[in-house]
Chain A
């Protein structure tokens, strides 16, 4: 039996006496598209920060493909097959779109800290970048410095950087936030394409996107998971409606 892609066991995060994440346990099997929802301030981004190593857990274990990653640095977790995007666009602004994606493929393709071969001669790297830019519809913007891209393109690049390393587990933090309706639709189509064959955990506020995309949904309220289930049953769950959907609909 293969280990789950992501397994959280009784994860706690405290800042001083503030308990932000309170005993979260969650198992995401390989290949699932999992949505994490909850009101603002519930701790969704904090949970992502814990999983990706940006923050360290106060208690509990986090396993990626069966391997305990608690206490590892973000780059070590990334090398173990987990990649994430950020709610606030987090790219290399002075580098071109092409170079941004290249940054994210070099390590995973084994070039690491190599300072003895020319990066322009690496045909495999070039091919991978082209494929990623094609997938994210950024091919014609390849020479543009990332900092001057339009917002929706920056968000697409953010996703491109996240997936380019070929990680099996992808965390996307509000990928459609701040987008127009049409842009969000494009983004969802992109997420659907890139999540094929991967495990996806996505934080998203747009419920139509969530119910459209997710295999299962987890609801986080005040640092606790109050439900994890398939979309239809989440919709019908009275506790969820009271805590989240009810207030959103009102």
Chain B
């Protein structure tokens, strides 16, 4: 899904450089087509579930980036608005089932959005008075407050077991029951597309642009007529709105909402997703959301300690690509435009092979350590990528160390090749740029 959205920086060229309507809306038409086609390619139940969760995560991560990437507000408690939106949605769903309020299921996400917006207004009026560290700390405090309230206010939050609902019992439109997962997928995909377009459009408005100004220099913004507190507050409310929509979709998807929705866990996950993808680009959180959702669901099948790998990946990105995955992709944009990017492929493949060998070695050490320590009660025989081996034998450890050392050595040897290919491709792109 990540390739559906056109990479676009926050600081794109001004209007004079804007291409025609097709270029302007084309990317969204492509995204819509991809959303429609995906279930026909990946039609298994698991795939539908994964893609549904990805759609929710994309909205949530993009809403988070309205704060972090666009307005420079680091929030540690964004799941509060996602979770409270979900609770509002699930309660209204149950009211609709009892025919107290006539809301069709397709509009339930909007109820979630209204809930997120409402609590965004309430909590935002407190937390957006200050930017920077003060805002981050208040967001953490509010997250703790709501998470602990969730276990106390049982009427609204449903206590330990949460609040359940049944999405098929609501008023139907077009004879869709929303029982089958594929129908839920299409509902989520439609809302995801609408929200992506809305949030992208928002970055191109006077308000969206002043968010960037407040992010870069809140003091100067004051001297051109803008109140940075008000900019932060509006950004916070709108961000809460979209987070609430994501929460509403989650309520529909899972048919249960509990206190874990508002906890620090999802607040941390959305931060990591946005940062992994790259907060400096609109498409960054989309990439991050897709990747993190995939890893959460798929890596956990492959290994019990998937969270360790997840953490290592996050550290690697923060250390080596602080602009996120999107920044790595965007580095290649000039080469792509000059049609020389393919020249890098051989060099990249050459470096990739030893890198994978090295990673396999590291992973083997981690898995064997896990087997010998945490799982000490179990036999030391195990399989690694379908290869049977004994975690207690010296040979296995020697093999692992050999993989790491050999992979590292070859990777270092391959790096000058990548470097040279990169320099040459850049030079070729520059030559074309100056020639045209």
Do B205 and A119 touch (CB < 8 A)?
Answer: yes
**Residue B374 is within 8 A (CB to CB) of chain A in the complex:** no
* Separation of A130 and B224 alpha carbons in the complex (Å): 18
* Separation of A73 and B223 alpha carbons in the complex (Å): 9
**Residue A27 is within 8 A (CB to CB) of chain B in the complex:** no
Do A78 and B212 touch (CB < 8 A)?
Answer: no
Do A83 and B223 touch (CB < 8 A)?
Answer: yes
Q: Which among B15, B212, B219, B231 is the interface contact of A113 at CB below 8 angstroms?
A: B231
Do A118 and B217 touch (CB < 8 A)?
Answer: no
Do A118 and B14 touch (CB < 8 A)?
Answer: no
Q: Which among B14, B208, B224 is the interface contact of A107 at CB below 8 angstroms?
A: B224
Within residues 201 to 260 of chain B, which ones have a CB less than 8 A from any CB in chain A? Answer: 201-202, 204-210, 212-213, 216-217, 219-227, 230-231, 234, 238
**Residue A91 is within 8 A (CB to CB) of chain B in the complex:** yes
Do B223 and A113 touch (CB < 8 A)?
Answer: no
**Complex interface: stretch among A96-104, A208-216, A219-227, A238-246:** A96-104
* Separation of A74 and B228 alpha carbons in the complex (Å): 11
Q: Given that A52-B223, A78-B225 are known contacts, is A115 also in contact with B207, CB under 8 Å in the complex?
A: yes
Closest chain-B Cβ to A171's Cβ sits at a distance in Å of: 10
**Residue B376 is within 8 A (CB to CB) of chain A in the complex:** no
Within residues 260 to 318 of chain B, which ones have a CB less than 8 A from any CB in chain A? Answer: none
Q: Which residues of the other chain, A, contact B224 by a CB distance below 8 angstroms?
A: 78, 83, 103-104, 106-107, 161, 164-165
Within residues 51 to 109 of chain A, which ones have a CB less than 8 A from any CB in chain B? Answer: 52, 73-75, 78-79, 83-84, 90-96, 98-99, 102-104, 106-108
Do A114 and B206 touch (CB < 8 A)?
Answer: yes
Do A92 and B216 touch (CB < 8 A)?
Answer: yes
* Separation of A75 and B227 alpha carbons in the complex (Å): 6
**Residue B387 is within 8 A (CB to CB) of chain A in the complex:** no
* Separation of A157 and B225 alpha carbons in the complex (Å): 17
**Residue B46 is within 8 A (CB to CB) of chain A in the complex:** no
Q: Which residues of the other chain, A, contact B3 by a CB distance below 8 angstroms?
A: none
**Residue A140 is within 8 A (CB to CB) of chain B in the complex:** no
Do A84 and B213 touch (CB < 8 A)?
Answer: no
The secondary structure that dominates the B interface is helix
Do B234 and A115 touch (CB < 8 A)?
Answer: yes
**Residue B13 is within 8 A (CB to CB) of chain A in the complex:** yes
**Residue A145 is within 8 A (CB to CB) of chain B in the complex:** yes
Q: Which residues of the other chain, A, contact B217 by a CB distance below 8 angstroms?
A: 90-93
Q: Which residues of the other chain, B, contact A106 by a CB distance below 8 angstroms?
A: 206, 209-210, 224-225
Closest chain-B Cβ to A99's Cβ sits at a distance in Å of: 7
Q: Which residues of the other chain, B, contact A96 by a CB distance below 8 angstroms?
A: 11, 14
Do B210 and A75 touch (CB < 8 A)?
Answer: no
Do A113 and B213 touch (CB < 8 A)?
Answer: no
Q: Which among A92, A99, A117, A164 is the interface contact of B220 at CB below 8 angstroms?
A: A92
Q: Which residues of the other chain, A, contact B18 by a CB distance below 8 angstroms?
A: 120
Q: Which residues of the other chain, A, contact B219 by a CB distance below 8 angstroms?
A: 90
Q: Which residues of the other chain, B, contact A181 by a CB distance below 8 angstroms?
A: none
Q: Which residues of the other chain, B, contact A79 by a CB distance below 8 angstroms?
A: 225
Closest chain-B Cβ to A154's Cβ sits at a distance in Å of: 13
Q: Given that A92-B212, A95-B213, A115-B238 are known contacts, is A75 also in contact with B223, CB under 8 Å in the complex?
A: yes
Closest chain-A Cβ to B408's Cβ sits at a distance in Å of: 36
Within residues 171 to 216 of chain B, which ones have a CB less than 8 A from any CB in chain A? Answer: 201-202, 204-210, 212-213, 216
Q: Which residues of the other chain, A, contact B223 by a CB distance below 8 angstroms?
A: 52, 74-75, 78, 83-84, 90
Do B11 and A94 touch (CB < 8 A)?
Answer: yes
Do A75 and B226 touch (CB < 8 A)?
Answer: yes
* Separation of A215 and B15 alpha carbons in the complex (Å): 41
Closest chain-B Cβ to A118's Cβ sits at a distance in Å of: 5
* Separation of A111 and B224 alpha carbons in the complex (Å): 13
Q: Which residues of the other chain, A, contact B230 by a CB distance below 8 angstroms?
A: 113
Do A117 and B206 touch (CB < 8 A)?
Answer: yes
Q: Given that A114-B205, A118-B204 are known contacts, is A98 also in contact with B221, CB under 8 Å in the complex?
A: no
Residue of B nearest to A77 (CB): B223
Closest chain-A Cβ to B128's Cβ sits at a distance in Å of: 13
Residue of B nearest to A161 (CB): B224
Q: Which residues of the other chain, B, contact A14 by a CB distance below 8 angstroms?
A: none
Do A119 and B234 touch (CB < 8 A)?
Answer: no
Q: Which among A75, A95, A142 is the interface contact of B11 at CB below 8 angstroms?
A: A95
**Residue A143 is within 8 A (CB to CB) of chain B in the complex:** yes
Residue of B nearest to A89 (CB): B220
Within residues 117 to 176 of chain A, which ones have a CB less than 8 A from any CB in chain B? Answer: 117-122, 126, 142-143, 145, 161, 164-165
User: B residues near A, CB below 8 A?
Assistant: 11, 13-16, 18, 201-202, 204-210, 212-213, 216-217, 219-227, 230-231, 234, 238
The 6 closest A-B pairs by CB, nearest first: A107-B225, A120-B15, A115-B207, A104-B224, A111-B206, A74-B222
Q: 16 additional contacts, CB 8 Å, given A95-B11, A103-B213, A120-B18?
A: A73-B222, A73-B227, A75-B226, A78-B225, A84-B223, A99-B14, A102-B209, A103-B210, A103-B221, A104-B224, A104-B225, A106-B209, A113-B207, A118-B204, A118-B205, A120-B15
